[in-house]
């Protein structure tokens, strides 16, 4: 879901990354809190630098709070044997990326509530710090109490927001665990929770735009941004689940076409069009001579050649000979092949063993299979 980001540290063996968008919201929070603290009576007569330091501290501690929230998810997930790819901090907070789905509904529930529980504990701790005079009879400097008040409210808001029952928020994962337990189908549970998540996303988009229009301020546009993220993340989460549950542990050999439509390198482009393109309608063909792969030809390569020159030109004149880009071994995990085709935009890969063509892998076939399996699980 996210780009590579900047790896800043490792906590308990978990890589912590910061997306470039994080710096935008860090600056906005720092500036907003600086202005807020400047206007408070407790800071009257104090240097502006104090308020700026407080703003920076509030922004940093807020993201530390988000990080601890995500580490709460990771701790429980690890306890049940789930692998963690890392945690990414970005413009809307943070996300823990797991390599595995929860093995059963009860684990899903515990992993989901762990993050909000950490945030609730942090909210209580910061509130106690804010009320130190009343609770312990010990007065703290206003710089500490004001920042503590900010963080108590922010962590409480994190709990409320994350527990909204829309996937992929924590509340949506709790809902998914309940639906999964009730229906016995993680596919059905995820789809329902994702639909609700997309609904919340649309509400946030409309609310943000409406408040922006009626108030004349741009502050509420962040709410619309949150809504856009929720709608995107809900759809992406369903897709990731289908990919993992369908392709994980399956090899390329399961999906490949064993009777590949191969092309001779000495065939004219004109005959290639008539004998192959117009017959099988593929966009990509392996070029084979004496049983061994020599290259790959795409329909777009031929389209670039003027029609009056195609009779004189051969397939070998336009084929791509960089076989590393187009070949894959039949024992490769299908999920890796799928990710590779999406990343490179290649609709087909040539399956080879010891430089001999044994089949062709089609992205379209894999997508159709995933769609069919997901529908059969509903």
- Are 306 and 338 spatial neighbours (Cβ–Cβ below 8 Å)? no
Whether residue 94 lies inside any domain: the answer is: yes
> Residue 1 falls within a domain, yes or no?
no
Residues 71 and 178 in one domain: yes
User: Do 147 and 77 share a domain, yes or no?
Assistant: yes
355 and 229, same domain (yes or no)? no
| Domain final residue pick, 201, 223, 247 | 247
Burial zone of 161 (CB within 10 Å; 0-12 exposed, 13-18 middle, 19+ buried): middle
The pair of three-digit structure tokens given for residue 326, joined into one six-digit string: 């187009």
pLDDT of residue 37: 84
User: Which contiguous run of DSSP H or E holds residue 30?
Assistant: helix 21-38
| Residues 40-61: tens digit of each pLDDT | 777 666 777 788 888 899 999 9
For residue range 310-368, list pLDDT tens digits in order: 999 999 999 998 888 899 999 999 989 998 998 888 889 999 988 788 889 999 889 88
Residue 360 in 3-state DSSP? strand
Q: Which H or E run contains 86?
A: strand 84-90
Q: How far apart are the first and last CA of the chain?
A: 25
Instruction: Mark whether 214 and 276 lie in a shared domain.
Output: no
Are 236 and 266 in the same domain?
no
Whether residue 264 is found in the same domain as residue 241: no
- Based on the domain organization, do 26 and 140 belong to the same domain? yes
pTM: 0.74
Q: Say yes or no: 259 and 235 in one domain.
A: no
The total number of structural domains in the chain stands at: 2
Range of the domain at 227: 6-247
Q: Do residues 240 and 294 both lie within one domain?
A: no
Whether residue 269 sits in one domain with residue 149 = no
Beta bridge partners of 362: 348
356 is a domain residue: yes
Same-domain check for residues 150 and 184: yes
Q: In what order do the strands lie in the sheet with 84-90?
A: 6-11, 14-18, 84-90, 93-98
Is 137 part of a structural domain of the chain? yes
- What is the pLDDT tens value at each position of the chain, 378 positions in all? 555 567 888 888 899 998 888 888 888 888 888 888 877 777 666 777 788 888 899 999 999 999 999 999 999 999 999 989 899 888 767 888 887 788 899 999 999 999 999 999 999 999 999 888 777 777 778 888 889 999 999 999 999 989 988 888 899 999 999 999 998 888 888 888 988 988 988 998 998 888 888 887 666 777 888 888 888 888 888 888 888 878 878 899 999 988 888 999 999 999 999 999 999 888 889 999 887 889 999 998 999 999 999 999 999 999 998 888 899 999 999 989 998 998 888 889 999 988 788 889 999 889 888 888 777 765
Nearest-10 crossing angle of helices 363-377, 186-215:
100
Q: Is 184 helix (H, G, I), strand (E, B) or coil?
A: coil
Domain termination residue (choose one: 220, 247, 274): 247
**Domain end: 228, 247, 266, which one?**
247
109 contacts 177 by C-beta, under 8 angstroms? yes
- 235, part of any domain: yes
Q: Is residue 188 part of a domain?
A: yes
Q: Are strands 6-11 and 14-18 parallel, antiparallel or unpaired?
A: antiparallel
172-175-181-185 Cα dihedral, nearest 10 degrees: -50
Whether residues 194 and 330 fall in one domain: no
Is 43 within the bounds of a domain? yes
User: Any idea what the CATH number is for the domain that residue 309 is in?
Assistant: 3.10.580.10
Q: Is residue 205 domain-resident?
A: yes
């Amino acid at each position: 879901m996210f780009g590579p980001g900047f790896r800043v540290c490792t906590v308990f063996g978990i890589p912590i990354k910061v997306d470039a968008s994080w710096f935008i919201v860090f600056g906005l929070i720092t500036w907003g809190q600086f202005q807020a603290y400047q206007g408070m009576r407790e800071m009257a007569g104090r240097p502006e630098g104090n308020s700026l330091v407080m703003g920076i501290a509030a922004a940093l501690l807020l993201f530390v709070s988000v990080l601890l929230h995500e580490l709460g998810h990771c701790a429980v997930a690890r306890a049940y044997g789930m692998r963690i790819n890392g945690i990414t901090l970005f413009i809307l907070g943070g996300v823990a990326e797991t390599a595995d789905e929860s093995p059963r509904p009860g684990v899903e529930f515990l992993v989901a509530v762990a993050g909000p529980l950490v945030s609730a504990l942090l909210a209580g701790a910061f509130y106690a710090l804010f009320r130190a005079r009343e609770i312990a009879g010990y007065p703290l400097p206003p710089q500490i109490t004001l920042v503590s008040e900010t963080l108590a409210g922010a962590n409480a808001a994190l709990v409320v927001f994350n527990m909204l029952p829309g996937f992929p928020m924590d509340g949506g994962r709790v809902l998914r665990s309940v639906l999964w337990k009730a229906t016995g189908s993680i596919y059905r549970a995820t789809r329902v929770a994702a639909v609700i998540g997309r609904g919340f996303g649309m509400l946030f988009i409309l609310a943000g735009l409406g408040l922006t229009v009626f108030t004349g301020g741009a502050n509420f546009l962040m709410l619309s941004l949150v809504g856009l993220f929720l709608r995107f993340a809900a759809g992406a989460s369903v897709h990731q689940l289908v990919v993992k549950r369908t392709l994980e542990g399956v090899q390329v050999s399961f999906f490949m076409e064993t009777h590949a439509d191969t092309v001779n390198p000495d065939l004219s482009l004109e005959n290639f069009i008539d004998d192959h393109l117009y017959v099988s309608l593929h966009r990509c063909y392996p070029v084979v001579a004496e049983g061994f792969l020599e290259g790959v030809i795409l329909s777009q390569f031929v389209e670039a050649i003027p029609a009056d020159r195609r009779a004189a030109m051969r397939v070998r004149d336009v084929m791509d000979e960089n076989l590393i880009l187009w070949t894959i071994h039949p024992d490769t995990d299908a999920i890796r092949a799928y990710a590779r085709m999406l990343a490179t935009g290649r609709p087909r890969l040539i399956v080879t063993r010891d430089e001999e063509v044994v089949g062709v892998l089609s992205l379209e076939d894999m997508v159709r299979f995933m769609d069919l399996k997901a529908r059969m699980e509903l």
